[in-house]
A and B are shown apart, each in its own frame.
Chain A
Amino acid sequence: MRHVAIQDKPLTEPVLLILTSLAAHPRHGYALIQDIELLSGGRVRMSTGTLFGALRRLLEDGWIERFEQEDTSRQKQAYRLTAGGRKQLHLELDRMRQLTRAGFARLRASEAI
């Protein structure tokens, strides 16, 4: 059975974007670049070096898996989230939600004074 690493440190932005992109459904490399650009509102255009470096680490950690797509698209290799990757994404989004709430609470408190 493959070892799945669970980490409690905040995820890097490329990793978070890739996991978020794969949360809906599996994608191949170019579809990931396009979706990440869309997800980030055009702010992030991930280079292939950055994308595949992050994909390699995610595969090694067991957060995503690679499989052969059965359709006739140009790219055969696609990636999907594993249960461990989904859990990691939940943890990170929970952490961000908690931080966002705390941040807004502080802002409201200071603006009310």
Chain B
Amino acid sequence: MKRTYRFFLLLYPRGHRDQFADEMTQVFEQAAAKSRAGGWAIHLRFAFSETAGLLAGAADAWLDRRPEAVPAAGESPALGWQPQELIEAQRRVDASVAAMVHAIAHHQFARARQLSNQERDARESLRVLREKYGDEYGMSL
């Protein structure tokens, strides 16, 4: 059951996993032990509730991700203009996230994992570009 839980955690954005995956697994194991002691009906309801909570939580985590260092064009007075490659890199990240949310919503978990890797690569490219332009355009990294 722990392995299944860890698998579902792969659906979360990397940042969320880095921050919470171990702690979530630990809490889940404690809660699972208690529900097992309550009998199979309680345990089944617990398993269903956890699965639904993880799917909803993963979708929510992707949708709720706060904007990071790159503000929208014209948003910051210090940034009247942004390099095109930076804008495109941000768009690639956004597109990966949107596709990932769609895959999760349609239970295409293999595809979601693939998109998670794609999103990680896109985010890394964005990070490199932010470092490249950070000083010049006053971006917080």
Interface string of A37-53 (1 = CB under 8 A from B): 00000000111111111
Interface size on B, residues (CB 8 A): 24
Contact between A77 and B54 (Cβ–Cβ < 8 Å)? no
Tell me if B89 is interfacial: C-beta within 8 Å of chain A.
no
State the Cβ distance, A4 to closest chain B Cβ, in Å: 14
Residues of A within 8 A of B30 (CB): 30, 74
User: Known contacts being A45-B49, A48-B50, is A53 close to B57, with CB within 8 Å?
Assistant: yes
Tell me if A97 is interfacial: C-beta within 8 Å of chain B.
no
State the Cβ distance, B60 to closest chain A Cβ, in Å: 5
Residue of B nearest to A77 (CB): B23
Tell me if B71 is interfacial: C-beta within 8 Å of chain A.
no
Contact between B23 and A75 (Cβ–Cβ < 8 Å)? yes
Cross-interface CB contact of A47 among B19, B50, B60, cutoff 8 Å:
B50
Of the four ranges (under 10, 10 to 19, 20 to 34, 35 or more), the interface on chain A belongs to 20 to 34
Residue of A nearest to B27 (CB): A29
A contacts with B: majority SS: helix
A77 to B24, CA, bound (A): 11
State the Cβ distance, B55 to closest chain A Cβ, in Å: 7
Tell me if A57 is interfacial: C-beta within 8 Å of chain B.
yes
Query: Which A34-82 residues have a C-beta within 8 angstroms of B?
Result: 45-53, 55-57, 60, 74-75, 77
Residues of B within 8 A of A18 (CB): none
Contacts from A to B (Cβ < 8 Å): 28-30, 33, 45-53, 55-57, 60, 74-75, 77
